[in-house]
Amino acid sequence: MNDKREFKMQMEMRTRQFAVSVLKFIESFPSSTTTKIIGNQLGRAATSIGANYREANRSESKDDFIHKISIALKESSEAMYWMEIIEEMGYCRNQLPSIKNECEEILKLMQAINRTLRTKKLQHS
């Protein structure tokens, strides 16, 4: 199996595992109106990262691939935002660092993929 295909498979698995971790994390929130709002937003963003990355890998065109990766990048950034809110609210202090760290790693990978795609697109224009 080539390196590119292996990377894509690993990223799909990693983003799926991240989504599952976040959903389990949300289940541990104390029950309140605020945590329901935050949990809903974080859950949507976290699950969207992997869904859009997977769609990108099955896209029918280069432009569609770039578009889906851009969405995954934006959702990664949004998930980070909600985790920063959780941190500032003082919720789930024990669980947050590892999940936030994984989100940061995924965000950096999505930024690198997006940057590479945009650079290649400019070179071929």
Cα→Cα distances 23→35, 53, 67, 105, 122, Å: 13, 18, 25, 18, 38
pLDDT at residue 117, as a whole number: 87
20-41: pLDDT as tens digits: 999 999 999 999 999 999 999 9
What is the value of pTM for the model shown?
Answer: 0.92
Architecture of domain 3-123: Up-down Bundle (1.20)
Residue 96 has pLDDT above 70, yes or no: yes
> What is the rounded distance in angstroms from the CA atom of residue 24 to the CA atom of residue 37?
16
Q: Where are the alpha helices (DSSP H) in 28-95?
A: 33-57, 62-89
Residue 121 has pLDDT above 80, yes or no: no
46-82: pLDDT as tens digits: 999 999 999 999 999 999 999 999 999 999 999 999 9
Mapping DSSP to helix (H, G, I), strand (E, B) and coil, where does residue 101 land? helix
